[in-house]
Structures are given as C-alpha cells and as structure tokens.
Amino acid sequence: MKNKLFVLLSLLMLASLALAACGGAATEAPAPEEPAAPAPVEPAAPAPTEVPPMPEFVAEKLEAPGGNCDYGGTIKSIEAVDRYTVKFTFCAPEPAFVAKVAVEAFDIYDADYLKETGGDAVAMNENPVGTGPYIVQEWVRGDHITFVPNPDYYGKAPANSTFILKWNKEGAARLLDLQAGNVSGIAEVTVDDIPTIEADPNLKLEPRKVNNFVYLGINNTKPPFDNEKVRQAFAMLINKQAIVDDFYAPGSVPATQFVPAGVKPGFTDGYVDTTYDMAKGVEMLKAEGFDFEKEYTLSYAERTRPYFPQPTKIAQAVQAQLAEAGIKIKLEMEEWATYLPATRAGEKELFFLGWSEDYPDATNWYDVFLTGSSAAFGNPFPDIVDLIKKGATSGDPVARQGYYDEVNKLYAQHVPAIVIAHGTVNLAFQAGVEGVVIGPYDENFALMKTADGTVVFSQDGEPVSLFCGDETDGNSFRACGLIFSSLYNFSTTSIPEPDLAEECVGNADASEWTCTLRQGVVFSNGATFDANDVVASFSAGLDYNYPLRKGNTGSYQYFKDFFGPKVMNQPAE
C-alpha cells in the first residue's frame, strides 16, 4: 500500500513536470499577454497646476567648519540662494565641476524623503523616490527589477511601457537569453561571443565608446624596480599591439599615455609612446646589472573587465614577451578580495589593474593614480604630483593642457606603470529593438522601443541598492539612472548636459558655481524639487555629522574621491 503511495506521488510529480513543459510552452510569450499600459503604480502626484501654494522657502546651507577647507576637502559651502538657485563654493578652482556632478552618485533626493527614511538606503530601497523617467514597480531580489514610466517625469516620456532589468553573471548565459528572445539586450558581451552575435541577423552589436585602460603597475620601492632605467626598459619589452590584437574586442587600441585620446585637456597630441624594442630594452637592463636569473612575480586577479577581457591569457602573453627577453616571470593569480588590498598596500612588485572613467576629465585619471592615493606604485613622484595639482586647480584649459603635457613627458621618464590597452565595451540587442543609442556612460533605455512595449535588459550583477549616493558599482548606477536625476547628466555623449539644473555657471576661476534649477519638477512622491533638495543630497555625502548621512555602507566614496579626500567633520584617524 505504501509502495503504491510512493509510486502515485512520483507519478503526480512527473505529471506536473510534463504539464509544465507542455502547458507552459502553450502559454509561452507571456509578454504580449501582459497589458501594454503601465502596470499599477503609486498614485500619481497632482499636476503642477493643482499643487497648493508652496510654503515659504527657508534656504538651507552647508558650510565647511571654519568656512575653509582645512577639513581636507575642496568644498567650502553649498548654499540654496533661493528656491531655484544653488551656489557651490570651492576653496580652489574646480573646472571639472559640471562633469563630476553628472555622475550617478550625485543624484538628487527629496529632502523630506531623506528625513522620512533617515537617509537609510535599506529603507529607501523599499520605495525609491526620484525625478527620473521611471519608477520602481517591484524588485524581486535575486531575479529582476521592473520599472514603469514615471507619469510626472519632466522630460520626454519613455517610449516603452515597461523596463525590466535582469542579471546573470555568466556571459554565455546572457547571450543564450538574448538568442532565445528572453531579453531585449545584454551588457558586457564577452570577446568570444562577438562573432556569434555578428553572424546572427536577429541580433546587433552595440559598441560603447568609453574611456578605460589596463596597466601593468610597477612598485618603485621593490628592487630592481626602484631603478628608473629598469622600468623604462620593461616598457620597451611589452608589445602592446600584439596583446590588443590577440585578446581584445575589435575597436580596442594600445594605450600610449595615462589618459585616453579624447580626454582634453589631458591627452597630448603627437605624443610618441615608448617604442617596442626588445634589443634596446635588454641592453638597458644589462647595463643596469639586472638579474636575469631571478624570478619576478606578476600578480593579477581573474576578474574579467572590458579593459581586461581575458586576465590569465593577457598575463601569460606578457610573461611570454618578457621571457623572450630572458626575464623569468612567475604569474600569481589571486582572488579579488585579497589581491586588491595587497596591491594597494604596496605588496606587489608587478601587477595588473585597470580603470573605467567616471567623467571625461583628466582629474579622473591622473589624480586617481599618480598622486599617491595608494602605495601600489610605491612612492609618488613629486614633480608629477605638483603638475597634476596645478592641472586640477586651473580654470584655464590651455594652461591645464600645458601641465598635462609635462606630466605625460614625466610619465615616460618615471614609468610608474606601463599602460597597455583601452578596451572596447560591447552590448548586444535584438535587431528589432528600435532607438538604441549607447553613450560612453549610459544607455538611452527610456527611448528604446520593442514590438510589445517591454524592454528587458540583462546585466552581469544585481544592483546593491537604489541609493547610489553611497554606491560605486555600475550595476547599481544603471538602475539608479532610470529612477533619479542629477544636476547634469551624460545622456548618450561624453558632454554633460543640463538635467535638474538648467545651467551651472562658473566664475572666472571656476571656484564658484551657480546653478539655476529647473522649475516645476516633482518627485515621484509628489514633493516639489527645489534648491534645498540639492543641499540635502550633497550634505548627506559631504558632512560626516549630517543626521541623514546613513546610506548603505556609509562610505559615500564618490564624494570623497571627487570633493575630498576628506569630508566635513570627518573624525581624525
């Protein structure tokens, strides 16, 4: 009897599986069954004309302690001059201000909403309130986020009725999803998958012109790499073109300077990179008494990035190139969690790391790497640091370019690292998706159209949170870009365009920026956007004592990176 029960149960389960296979297939193509209109959303805010008279505006101000920058940051004050004007005052010229505030980390939040949630990202994730083109309908953790158009959005209404953001860590699985028609587009196409996509008439490849690079870092405190001539010789022994040809996506190019072409001021036109010359490199090493018998360690992490698409193969290629010169290299592959802290602590002699640009300005390159922000390269070079600081605080583009031309010359002389390649990033879409434009930093998801009105995009990871003021990862930024707006944004170009600001105008030396804000903008909770929202959003990131500075990890790293290195009232170490 009991055996029969087991058999019956098993048959039932099998039947349900079979039913799912057949019945499920019969109800395939769920998307068209879904209503094309936006799914139920939070009650729309009343139209601007119905808004009751606004309460009296009490202007807020964030001011650095002592009214100066002794705290270790660059911002002196942020002041709401009136309801729609905000003034940013710096202690030194800040020529890249507009580009910096276009980064997703500087989204603007409703001040009252920050108070309601205590500025806590966990609470904000439950019901994100922004001014962007979409609002969140649901976030099914681990699976997807569904966005529907924000009826109060001040810009052009989204061309699709639903946008779904999914994620899958595996590139091959993302491509399968695309080929099967389950998603409209995918991010981070792997180099191996490019031929498949190009050969499929139902798909299209969309390259992203983003500035990034991978470099072979050299720690100048580790002998024999404390010898400048040895570093220069190593630069001659790396055949960058061969590496790019063998391992990078089409469109990638060898790197020549510490900034990519197009970053102006910064990139030096007509600059001649160290030429690949094995004989000369070996000769220089011999002249310096380089020990060819010793084994040197080249470290890297198996962490695929557009600028480092095949880590192990690239490391092996460099190992082989150096072996041709008689140099013995041991490869050391480490897990990212241990590799990065050890590298930044200066424990590695030769290592691979890379970078993707946040905004198109030289400060996002030179200042990040060459000013001694970590011990990875060993000791910083004072002459380079001095010029970088001058370049970063000069409001005159011509003068800035002059400083950076000098930096580029000194880079070739000191060789703190050997820049290897700028990698092309590729996305792929169904051929039928209309209106796809891929910018250097963003995608125009709101303007993409599909036959059923639903755009599904798969990226390589789940957003950490939907409060991007305290996030640093691209997957979170992509989601935040759909819900929130900043003073400026990059849209689909590398030129910052006014968004919540109608314009931000700098004074003569770019140390003071006055932003005129867009009027009539409402948040998705119905609150009206004004200058105090800007002050509150920046205060959360810039003032350690601000009561609403909770965020996620509480790091607010972009605020420190762009306007730091310290924030106001930050406790001493």
Partner 1 sequence: MIQFLIRRLFLILPVLVGILLVTFTITRLVPGDPCYVMLGERATESTCNDFKARFGLDKSIPEQFGRYVLNLLKGDFGNSLKDRRPITTVIAERLPMTFELTFFAMIFSSTFGILLGVISALNRNSIIDTLTMLGANMGVSMPVFWLGLLLAYVFALVLKDTPFQLPPSGRLSSGISMAPLTKVWGIQDATGVKAFGLSFLSNSAILNGLLTSNYKLFFDALKHLILPAVAVGTISLSVIARMTRSALLDVLGQDFIRTARAKGLRYSVVIRRHALRNALIPIVTIIGLQTGGLLSGAVLTETIFSLPGVGSKMVEAILGRDYPVVQGFSVVIALIFVFTNLIVDASYAYLDPRVRVK
Window 514-553: residues binding partner 1 (CB under 8 A): 552-553
Question: Quick one: which segment of 61-69, 135-143, 282-290, 392-400 binds partner 1 (CB under 8 A)?
Answer: 135-143
Of 383 and 473, which has the nearer Cβ to partner 1?
473
Closest approach of Cβ 215 to partner 1, in Å? 11
Closest approach of Cβ 143 to partner 1, in Å? 5
- In this structure, what token pair is assigned to residue 280? 């000369």
- In this structure, what token pair is assigned to residue 366? 């030179």
Closest approach of Cβ 391 to partner 1, in Å? 21
Residues 452-481 that bind partner 1 (CB under 8 A): 454, 456, 464-465, 472-473
Question: Quick one: which segment of 9-17, 267-275, 322-330, 381-389 binds partner 1 (CB under 8 A)?
Answer: 9-17
Residues 174-233 that bind partner 1 (CB under 8 A): 176-177, 179-183
Closest approach of Cβ 369 to partner 1, in Å? 9
Residues pairing with 144 in the sheet: 140, 166
- Sequence letter at residue 289: G
Give the torsion through C-alpha atoms of 287, 289, 291, 292, to 10 deg. Answer: 20
Q: Where are the beta strands (DSSP E) in 106-228?
A: 134-140, 144-149, 162-167, 185-186, 203-208, 212-218
d(CA 388, CA 365): 10
Closest approach of Cβ 448 to partner 1, in Å? 14
- Per CB under 8 A, 15 contacts partner 1: no
* Angle at alpha carbon of residue 165, lines to 163 and 166, rounded to 5°: 140
- Per CB under 8 A, 14 contacts partner 1: yes
Question: Quick one: which segment of 17-25, 230-238, 519-527, 530-538 binds partner 1 (CB under 8 A)?
Answer: 17-25
Residues 407-426 that bind partner 1 (CB under 8 A): none
Using alpha carbons, select from 549, 531, 529, 533 the residue that is nearest to residue 541.
549
- Per CB under 8 A, 373 contacts partner 1: yes
Using alpha carbons, select from 304, 308, 354, 297 the residue that is nearest to residue 331.
297
Closest approach of Cβ 102 to partner 1, in Å? 18
Helices assigned H by DSSP within 92-239: 97-100, 111-117, 121-126, 171-179, 194-199, 228-237
Closest approach of Cβ 229 to partner 1, in Å? 29
Closest approach of Cβ 242 to partner 1, in Å? 26
Residues 36-75 that bind partner 1 (CB under 8 A): none
Using alpha carbons, select from 424, 496, 37 the residue that is nearest to residue 255.
424
d(CA 156, CA 513): 27
Binder of partner 1 out of 46, 65, 169, 397 (CB under 8 A): 169
d(CA 432, CA 187): 17
Question: Quick one: which segment of 30-38, 238-246, 277-285, 325-333 binds partner 1 (CB under 8 A)?
Answer: 30-38
Residues 113-132 that bind partner 1 (CB under 8 A): 121-122, 125
